[in-house]
Amino acid sequence: MPSSAIDRAFTARKTVGSDSEPTYAGALSFMRRKFTKDVKGADAVVWGIPFDAAVSNRPGARFGPQAIRRASAIFDVDPQYPFGVDLFEAMAVVDYGDCLLDYGNHQKTPATIEREAAKILKHAGFLLSLGGDHYVTWPLLKAHAEKHGPLALVQFDAHQDTWFDDEKRIDHGSFVARAARAGIIDPERSIQIGIRTHAPEDCGIRIIHGYELEDMKAADIAYAIHERTGGKKTYVTFDIDCLDPAYAPGTGTPVAGGPSSAKMLSVLRQLGGIDIVGADVVEVAPAYDHADITAIAGATVAMHYLGLLAEKLARR
């Protein structure tokens, strides 16, 4: 039964608890979380980064945060599958809105993202970012490493993103190489899942290629991630093009031969033993989507991050 309240994104008085709203109405924050810039005491902060000037193929991921928030309206007050509980009963989560970027001066973009991410991380326990193209993960990794030290990277992707550049380019295909070279990630504790393209370097990162996934159970993939990260503080980045275009057509650089959303969500569900300190979902480009297939997948990935965090907090 819907409550008498609506637009909980603005009217909510608390950052915990849920309230039902029609999925087709109301202000579209992520999972109806309260919109606020006050993140003190928040267990998790959801933040949009509407940037796509680094793409090498189809643009449009700047609209990703809007699409993911809209799709997240399907997650109403019911217990969330597969976690079986109200994620927000005891976990305080807010929607911080979007990063304000100067569309005419992209050279300022990385510093702007890093600075704002560091500000959020100073007061909140966990930052969940909604891209945007995959370049945004570069400044996000820098901000997280500044707080936590060198990180293990778990990357769901069709592309390695290990192309070397002069470190001045705004390019979504080189952030992993930069992070490895700068010591921001530990390649020996990092893993890429779903790769279906080639790059000149692997930077010492373990790769599970797309075709390999077809012969592996979700539990085996999750075990490989656990084994590789080895208890190290971990950042998880999910490029939606990790999924086969049948499950994620709305993205800038789709690659055939990928896994299903069901399989990769099952893998995510089994990562509860990993010390995940930050996460993102990127490259949702709704202009190429159909019936919100890709946006729903992206929102579900983001919900899984919060589900894992809720379980982690409950164990404390």
- 239 assigned to a ligand binding site: yes
CB 218 within 8 A of CB 184: no
- 133 assigned to a ligand binding site: no
- 86 assigned to a ligand binding site: no
- 102 assigned to a ligand binding site: no
- 161 assigned to a ligand binding site: yes
Q: Give the list of residues 6+ apart from residue 115 with CB closer than 8 angstroms, or none.
A: none
Q: Give the list of residues 6+ apart from residue 225 with CB closer than 8 angstroms, or none.
A: 154, 191, 193, 267, 271, 274
CA–CA dist 75, 19 (Å, integer): 11
- 209 assigned to a ligand binding site: no
User: Where is the binding site, in residues?
Assistant: 134, 157, 159, 161, 239, 241
User: Where is the binding site for Mn(2+), in residues?
Assistant: 134, 157, 159, 161, 239, 241
